[in-house]
Amino acid sequence: MFEEEPEPEFEIFSALLFNSLKAITFMFFISFAMINAPADEGKVDPKAEMMITVTWPDDNPDDVDTYVEDPAGNIVWYNQREGGLMNLERDDRGMFKDVILLDGKEISNPLNQESVAFRGLQDGEYVVNVVHYIANGTGTLPVTVKVEQLNPTVKVVFYKTLEMKGTGDEQTAVRFTLAGQDVVNVISTPKSLVELTRSAGGKGGGTNRQGAPGGAVDAATGQVIPE
Ligand SMILES: [Ca+2]
Ligand SMILES: [Ca+2]
């Protein structure tokens, strides 16, 4: 009987072909992963209903943090960027990490801005706080807080510049109540959100900036308080 042996050349060729296919498939998946990765960075939800923007002077090295509490008690801050329908788009740390490499040259980004976007509106009271997390100079730091409704048209519902008094200073910029599309009861009675995020069992626990296990953080020093 004839048992036809495949040509050795053919075997080598098919092995090569198979390996090439594997490599192409692998590269295809890698390129897809690379396309998807940077898309997440700094994205702004085009369907945002409201936007809170906190800015301080360009090139200022101070670290200012934004805290927003929704009617359900969710708090967004640098350690808990998503909560309820809110999303902290970016934690700006003054000059820290604001340097990018371009053609081997360091280019610094002067912008100091944090923003919180609301994907939807919920009836009840929201609290917007600003924390002077790290002050590098003496004197006060002007920090501007803007609250805008984006739909159906852009409407500024609050705009004010606070004078932050130094490391650890937490100020309530505004508290407002949503009733449908209406913004009512705009007040600035102080309410500490730092305390709520740091207290035992409070929302927003987890890890601190250094990535160490969670624990209370002293707002005045930025140091983790041993439990
Ligand atoms: Ca910050
Ligand atoms: Ca900055």
Give the pLDDT of the chain (227 residues) as one tens digit per residue. Answer: 566 665 666 676 677 777 777 776 666 665 655 555 444 445 555 689 999 999 999 989 999 999 999 999 999 999 999 999 999 998 999 877 677 778 888 888 889 999 999 999 999 999 999 999 999 988 999 999 999 999 989 999 999 999 999 999 999 999 999 999 899 999 999 999 999 998 744 444 444 554 333 444 455 555 545 54
Q: Which ligand is nearest to the CA of 65?
A: 1
Strand locations in 109-181, DSSP E? 113-118, 124-134, 141-149, 155-164, 170-179
Which pLDDT value is given to residue 2? 60
Ligand 1 centroid to residue 63 C-alpha, Å: 5
The residue type of 19 is N
Nearest-angstrom CA–CA distance, 25 and 7: 27
Ligand 1 centroid to residue 87 C-alpha, Å: 14
Tokens 């594997």 belong to: 22
Ligand 1 centroid to residue 93 C-alpha, Å: 4
Ligand 1 centroid to residue 172 C-alpha, Å: 16
Which pLDDT value is given to residue 219? 52
Ligand 2 centroid to residue 55 C-alpha, Å: 9
Q: Which ligand is nearest to the CA of 112?
A: 2
Ligand 1 centroid to residue 65 C-alpha, Å: 4
Ligand 2 centroid to residue 117 C-alpha, Å: 18
Q: How far is CA 193 from the centre of its chain?
A: 17
Which pLDDT value is given to residue 38? 46
Ligand 2 centroid to residue 10 C-alpha, Å: 61
Domain 46-206, CATH: 2.60.60
Q: What's the pTM value of the predicted model, to 2 decimals?
A: 0.69
The residue type of 162 is L
Angle at 36 between CA 35 and CA 37, to 5 degrees: 100
Q: Which ligand is nearest to the CA of 90?
A: 1
Number of neighbours of residue 123 by Cβ within 10 angstroms: 10
Which pLDDT value is given to residue 11? 74
Q: What are the domain boundaries of the chain? A: 8-39, 46-206
Nearest-angstrom CA–CA distance, 180 and 202: 28
Ligand 2 centroid to residue 51 C-alpha, Å: 19
Which pLDDT value is given to residue 146? 98
Ligand 1 centroid to residue 54 C-alpha, Å: 10
Which pLDDT value is given to residue 51? 97
Question: Could you list which residues have their CB under 5 Å from ion ligand 2?
Answer: 92, 98, 112
Which pLDDT value is given to residue 1? 54
